[in-house]
């Protein structure tokens, strides 16, 4: 009868030995059991070491591919005189780099993308590889919007400026206003813009709320908004890590959302429709972060206050006995029901 060190019967282990016909047999010597456990632990430790080494080797190879692609971009694309030519070279280099790095790219809904007319493209932001995936997937050129901090260094400013990137100030209101006017002028001049309306990405998975800038600009300019759902980039390069992994990235374009007005309400409608499209195609399985707010900024208009019963405060009766909630000056007690 098998027992634990405290004298309790090991019923499951005893039944297993009984069914296998080894109940009366003596166990292996202690030294052999210890040797077997040490061998299994050594195998597991070696396996983890090999996995760790394989991840580092692949990361070095992938970043070498990306670095070589950046050098070729500077040598082949930046000297070209036209932005369309520079974008075409960047598009082919991005597809080549993704293929060599083991990133399988799948594209859906390219027929929804306007061929020549300007538009505003909005995509979810989950990884540092989002811009690479969009550049490799989209057949036509877009001008990305990037934070103004990236132009503080010479090399990133030179490369991004030659690729048509528009820098936007996030902290200085006056400079942000001038940058917004420059973005609107680029859109009215026939350029298409690409936004990441979340502004940044977080370590946890899930879709965040959208800022209103892209949708206000699209409503004022009267150009369609094309929502794009990116899935798989977080699995290839998670959060703020620097160890890429091979995987599949899917770029799904939705139907163009055409504005029917130029006011704040129309911008909110465009924002909500784009957010719903991307949220419904999120394959991360994680709960969504707090959704977009519909609160108007100062000066966007005053909400009309109705009269009569619409403006009264609702009375709330909680189901738990002895609990009360007060709204204003009234106190609401739970209603007693006998039986």
> 119-170, pLDDT tens digit by residue?
999 999 989 999 999 999 998 899 999 888 888 888 889 999 999 999 988 7
| Residue 128 maps to a domain | yes
Q: How confident is the model at residue 4 (pLDDT cuts 50, 70, 90)?
A: confident
Q: How confident is the model at residue 313 (pLDDT cuts 50, 70, 90)?
A: very low
Model confidence at 269: pLDDT above 90? yes
123/335 Cα distance (integer angstroms): 50
Domain extent, residue 235, equals 103-280
In sequence order, what are the beta bridge partners of 231?
250
Of 263, 271, 261, the closest CA to residue 294 belongs to 271
**Which DSSP state fits 80?**
-
Non-local CB neighbours of 263 within 8 Å, separated by 6+ positions: 219, 301
Give me the residue label for tokens 């909680």. Answer: 318
| Residue 218 maps to a domain | yes
Model confidence at 329: pLDDT above 60? no
Q: What is the pLDDT of residue 272?
A: 96
| Residue 125 maps to a domain | yes
Q: What is the pLDDT of residue 275?
A: 95
Q: What is the pLDDT of residue 206?
A: 83
| Residue 23 maps to a domain | no
CATH number at residue 188: 3.40.1130.10
Q: What is the pLDDT of residue 296?
A: 55
Question: What tens digit of pLDDT does each residue of 183-201 get?
Answer: 999 998 899 999 999 988 8
Question: What tens digit of pLDDT does each residue of 195-223 get?
Answer: 999 988 877 788 889 999 899 999 999 99
Q: What is the pLDDT of residue 324?
A: 42
| Residue 49 maps to a domain | no
Model confidence at 325: pLDDT above 50? no
Q: How many CB atoms lie within 10 A of CB 209?
A: 16
Specify whether the CB–CB gap between 193 and 183 falls below 8 A: yes
- Number of domains within the chain: 1
Bridge pairing between strands 330-332 and 193-195: unpaired
| Residue 111 maps to a domain | yes
Of the CA atoms within 13 Å of residue 232, those in its CB half-sphere come to 18
In sequence order, what are the beta bridge partners of 122?
195, 227
| Residue 261 maps to a domain | yes
Pair of tokens at residue 200 = 């940044």
Non-local CB neighbours of 51 within 8 Å, separated by 6+ positions: none
Specify whether the CB–CB gap between 103 and 246 falls below 8 A: yes
Q: How confident is the model at residue 338 (pLDDT cuts 50, 70, 90)?
A: very low
Non-local CB neighbours of 37 within 8 Å, separated by 6+ positions: none
Of the CA atoms within 13 Å of residue 234, those in its CB half-sphere come to 19
324/37 Cα distance (integer angstroms): 61
Of 291, 272, 165, 293, the closest CA to residue 227 belongs to 272
Tell me the C-alpha to C-alpha distance, in Å, between residue 90 and each of 47, 86, 141, 204.
39, 6, 10, 30
């Amino acid at each position: 009868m098998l027992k634990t060190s405290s004298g309790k019967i090991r019923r499951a282990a005893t039944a297993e030995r009984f069914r296998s016909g080894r109940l009366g047999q003596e166990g292996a010597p202690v030294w052999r059991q210890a040797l077997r456990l040490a061998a299994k632990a050594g195998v597991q430790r070696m396996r983890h070491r090999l996995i760790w080494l394989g991840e580092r080797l692949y990361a070095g190879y992938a970043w070498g591919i990306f670095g070589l692609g950046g050098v070729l971009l500077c040598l082949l694309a930046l000297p070209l005189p036209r932005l369309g030519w520079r974008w075409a070279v960047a598009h082919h280099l991005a597809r080549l780099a993704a293929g060599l790095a083991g990133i399988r790219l799948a594209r859906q809904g390219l027929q929804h993308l306007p061929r020549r007319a300007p538009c505003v493209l909005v995509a979810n932001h989950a990884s540092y590889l989002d811009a690479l995936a969009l550049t490799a997937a989209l057949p036509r050129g877009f001008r990305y919007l990037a934070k103004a901090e990236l132009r503080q260094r010479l090399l990133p400013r030179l490369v991004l400026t030659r690729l048509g990137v528009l820098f936007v100030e996030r902290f200085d209101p006056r400079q942000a206003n001038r940058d917004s006017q420059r973005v609107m002028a680029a859109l009215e001049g026939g350029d298409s813009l690409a936004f990441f309306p979340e502004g940044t990405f977080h370590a946890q998975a899930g879709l965040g709320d959208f800022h209103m800038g892209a949708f206000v600009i699209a409503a004022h300019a009267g150009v369609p908004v094309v929502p794009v759902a990116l899935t798989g980039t977080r699995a290839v390069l998670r959060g703020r890590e620097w160890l890429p992994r091979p995987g599949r990235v899917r770029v799904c374009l939705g139907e163009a959302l055409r504005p029917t007005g130029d006011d704040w309400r129309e911008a909110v409608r465009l924002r909500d429709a784009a957010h719903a499209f991307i949220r419904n195609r999120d394959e991360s399985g994680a709960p969504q972060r707090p959704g977009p707010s519909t609160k108007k900024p100062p000066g966007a208009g005053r909400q009309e206050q109705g009269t009569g019963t619409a403006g009264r405060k609702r009375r709330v009766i909680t189901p738990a006995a002895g609990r009360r909630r007060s709204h204003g000056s009234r106190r609401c007690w739970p209603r007693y029901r006998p039986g």
